[in-house]
A = this chain, B = another copy of it.
Amino acid sequence: SKKRIAIIPGDGIGKEVVAIGVQLLETLREVRGYAIELVPFDLGADRFLRDGATFPADDQRTIRETCDAVLLGAIGDPRVPSLDYARDILFGLRFGLDLYCNVRPIQCLDDRLMPIKGKGAKDCDMVVFRENTEGVYVGVGGNFKKGTPDEVAITEDVNTRKGVERVIRAAFEFAVKHGRKRVLMSDKNNAMPHAHGLWKRVFEEVRGEYAGIESRHMYVDALCMQMVRAPETLDVIVTNNLFGDIVTDLGAALQGGLGMAASANIHPGRIGMFEPVHGSAPDIAGKDMANPLATVLTIGMMCTHLGFEGEEARLVEIVREAVRTGRCTRDVGGEMGTRAVGDWVLAQVRGS
């Protein structure tokens, strides 16, 4: 039966890169014969400004019950100052579909994209497993005496045994499956014994089951330093929602910027939501300047999730070639526009 892919362009450059993404999926269907069906959803600032809807229950159910994957562009628009609508959609997908692994490869595809002296592309090939359904993102907290000189503002970092264990296991399983040798867990248990003590205990337990994988722990502050000083020592990284957010943006700096950073939000064996890590970038929206390569890489991850073996590796090679030969946007050293880069990628897919 056909795989159904929900398409949510969203806002700003999200629309431009998803347009390329849709063409890419259609081309893959045609060229490779993948049985896929694209199902567009009208969500984002335009919709919100038109009828006040953020992520209607109907759409949520359709996606949850009938789709195998979601392609999301980006959410965020200067016309909507409140961040609630963006949270409704983004967290509605991440939490609502229980997508507990936010998998973000930090792979540098060309020496010229590597900003660290003495390092090359080969020195940066990590994969971050960011817990994606808990932590400070759950929205638990409050403001006591809000707006007064006595205000106390609290956000709770909520972690469950189940949530911590499943993402740590997923990281180890990924390492086993992809022949990766090392898994590193990062937290800050020296400052946060309650929340991160759980991470530490669960990690100690689970690592014992994976004798073939070298496992270790690093505080998040040390990890950020290590990513700059010795990225070649890092491999699979598993961490909480907030630290995953931080280290993957830092990681983007090692890949050539957010224009090269892909992500897969998955519930293994079930549905997945795929989004380039970049935001809606209102400053460059509508100017044909957005880098579509993160979306190409993201669709590669989607193909793996949908069971289209080998496609992800082929798309990675096409993106690598795009950067190597300057078929890319300015942010990664080229001179081409979004659509022209997209066209070149499509031609490669047809030719490969």
Binding site for B on A (CB under 8 A): 83, 86-87, 114-117, 136-137, 139, 141-143, 147-162, 164, 188-198, 201, 220-222, 224-225, 228-229, 242, 245-250, 252-254, 257-258
Contacts and interface: CB of A to CB of B under 8 A. Distances in A.
Contact of A193 (B83, B164, B253): B83
A106 B41 CA distance: 46
Contacts of A228: 115, 228, 250, 253-254
Nearest to A76: B190
A83 B221 CA distance: 17
Nearest to A84: B193
Contact of A229 (B115, B147, B159, B242): B115
A155 B192 CA distance: 6
B198 A153 contact: yes
Contact of A154 (B151, B156, B249): B156
A123 B137 CA distance: 34
A248 B160 CA distance: 29
A85 to B, nearest CB: 12
A26 B201 CA distance: 46
Contact of A143 (B139, B191, B197): B197
Contact of A242 (B139, B191, B194, B253): B191
Given A153-B159, A154-B159, A224-B250, 15 more contacts: A87-B190, A115-B117, A117-B117, A136-B191, A139-B193, A141-B193, A147-B201, A152-B160, A153-B195, A154-B194, A191-B242, A221-B250, A224-B249, A225-B252, A228-B253
A60 to B, nearest CB: 20
**Oligomer copy total:** 2
B191 A245 contact: yes
Contact of A152 (B158, B193, B196): B158
B245 A221 contact: yes
Contacts of A188: 136, 242, 245
A161 B136 contact: no
A116 B249 CA distance: 16
Contacts of A190: 83, 86-87
A157 B155 CA distance: 5
A198 B143 contact: yes
A143 B250 contact: no
A141 B194 contact: yes
A284 to B, nearest CB: 15
Contacts of A196: 153, 155
Contacts of A193: 83, 139, 141, 155
B161 A151 contact: yes
Nearest to A201: B147
B225 A224 contact: no
Contacts of A136: 157, 188, 191-192, 195
